[in-house]
């Protein structure tokens, strides 16, 4: 590269590096401030790591500047930006969220300028590329940090807007559970539920309750956990009642006996536990312990049901009969939900007597 243009390239790079360096010191101030303000373990871990990266990167940038051997002053615009961002950090008119967003902007700027340096040095002489090679690592860190700050902004922003805590990975965890399980929760269901075999719709109910357990146990406050538990109570009670009145009864009518008696027993245990937890005073910790016990009972029952009872149903009923049973199950669910809404429902009735539909001794295909 001829002399003049090498000089231009080097001066341009030096000026950009000076800007990055002065902003990097500000980045450290923002990291310190944020570390002192967040209270979530996951965030503290990420921020701690980010703080270490940023400190290391400031030293790396200073080293590269020395290796490059061309020094420049930061541009007035960069100095003014740093001054403004420092003011924002201590200005009470800016909300916590706005300050975190400013941090995000700062990181984005560091990343954009770092990428520019990395790109520009491609046309510089080899010695310059050697001197500034460390920018690849700095840029990679900044990319990672931008993602973290976006996540933090989401969590903090949701808390500021809704007044409650977001569970950022809750949906992910729930979806993960479903990828290994039968059913199509979350992926959307393409056909009306009434056209599916009853086993599919029962399994969908089971997955929904699985998700409710995860939500209850992941809740950050007792109040939220109690709200989720009410949904478990309602869903499980309705599901069990309709399942007994339609599905279990139809199987019994076709001579499937021991399996169903065992299932009734387990429903009885679940209902007692549901009532016990609902009326239980005590601490959040104790509540969660009891919900976990219920979760274990339910998942044991569901596993047996989906393996043994469903298999037996598929051997006992034709495909068409399974669809007819599904329609009855849906109708019965609606009826029980109405009863519950109007206060006519006794959740702890065991194998309750019912006015609900049953296949009785008749063949489902005759309906
Ligand atoms: Fe079930
Ligand atoms: Fe069941």
Residue 193 sits in the same domain as residue 331: yes
128, 144, 162 - which closes a domain: 162
pLDDT at 354: 38
Count of CB atoms within 10 A of residue 304's CB? 15
Which residues of the chain, if any, have pLDDT below 70? Answer: 1-4, 40-42, 164-191, 346-367
How many Å lie between the centroid of ligand 2 and the Cα of residue 243?
A: 6
Residue 234 sits in the same domain as residue 312: yes
pLDDT at 130: 81
pLDDT at 350: 45
162, 196, 211 - which closes a domain: 162
How many Å lie between the centroid of ligand 2 and the Cα of residue 219?
A: 26
Residue 95 sits in the same domain as residue 180: no
User: Which distant-in-sequence residues (6+ apart) come within 8 Å of 243 by Cβ?
Assistant: 202, 267, 329
User: Which distant-in-sequence residues (6+ apart) come within 8 Å of 101 by Cβ?
Assistant: 153
pLDDT at 167: 58
User: Which distant-in-sequence residues (6+ apart) come within 8 Å of 39 by Cβ?
Assistant: none
The Cα 162–Cα 356 span in angstroms is 42
Domain range for 81 is 3-162
The Cα 316–Cα 261 span in angstroms is 17
pLDDT at 7: 83
* Total-model pTM: 0.53
How many Å lie between the centroid of ligand 2 and the Cα of residue 339?
A: 20
* Cβ–Cβ < 8 Å for 201, 326: yes
pLDDT at 197: 94
Query: What are the distances in angstroms from CA 115 to CA 13, 295, 303?
Result: 12, 50, 53
Torsion of CA 255, 256, 261, 263, to 10 degrees: -150
Residue 137 sits in the same domain as residue 274: no
Residue 107 sits in the same domain as residue 204: no
pLDDT at 42: 67
What sign for the dihedral angle of Cα 355, 198, 244, 242? Answer: negative
How many Å lie between the centroid of ligand 1 and the Cα of residue 283?
A: 30
162, 190, 208 - which closes a domain: 162
């Amino acid at each position: 590269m001829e002399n003049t243009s090498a000089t231009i390239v080097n001066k341009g790079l030096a000026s950009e590096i000076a800007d990055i360096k002065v902003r990097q010191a500000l980045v450290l101030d923002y990291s310190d401030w944020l570390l002192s303000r967040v209270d979530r373990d996951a965030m503290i871990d990420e921020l701690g790591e980010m703080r270490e990266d940023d400190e290391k990167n400031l030293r790396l940038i200073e080293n590269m500047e020395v290796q490059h051997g061309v020094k420049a002053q930061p541009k007035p615009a960069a100095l003014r930006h740093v001054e403004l961002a420092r003011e924002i950090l201590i200005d009470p008119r800016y909300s916590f969220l706005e300050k975190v967003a400013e941090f995000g902007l700062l990181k984005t700027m560091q990343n954009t300028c770092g990428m520019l340096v990395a790109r520009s040095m491609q046309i510089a002489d080899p010695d310059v590329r050697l001197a500034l090679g460390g920018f690849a690592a700095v840029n990679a860190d900044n990319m990672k940090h931008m993602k973290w700050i976006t996540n933090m902004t989401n969590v903090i922003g949701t808390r500021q807007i809704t007044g409650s805590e977001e569970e950022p990975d809750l949906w992910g965890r729930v979806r993960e559970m479903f990828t290994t399980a039968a059913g199509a929760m979350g992926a959307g269901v393409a056909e009306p539920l009434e056209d599916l075999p009853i086993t599919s719709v029962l399994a969908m109910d089971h997955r929904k309750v699985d998700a409710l357990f995860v939500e209850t146990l992941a809740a950050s406050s007792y109040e939220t956990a109690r709200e989720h538990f009410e949904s478990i109570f309602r869903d499980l009670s309705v599901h069990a009642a309709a399942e007994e009145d339609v599905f279990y009864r139809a199987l019994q009518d076709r001579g499937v006996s021991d399996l169903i008696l065992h299932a009734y027993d387990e429903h009885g245990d679940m209902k007692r536990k549901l009532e016990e937890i609902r009326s239980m005073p005590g601490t959040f910790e104790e509540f969660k312990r009891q919900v976990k016990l219920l979760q274990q009972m339910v998942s044991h029952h569901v596993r047996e049901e989906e393996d043994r009872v469903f298999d037996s149903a598929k051997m006992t009923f034709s495909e068409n009969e399974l669809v007819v049973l599904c329609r009855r199950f849906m109708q019965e669910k609606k009826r029980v939900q109405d009863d519950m809404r109007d206060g006519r429902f006794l959740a702890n009735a065991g194998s309750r007597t019912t006015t609900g539909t049953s296949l009785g001794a008749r063949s489902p295909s005759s309906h």
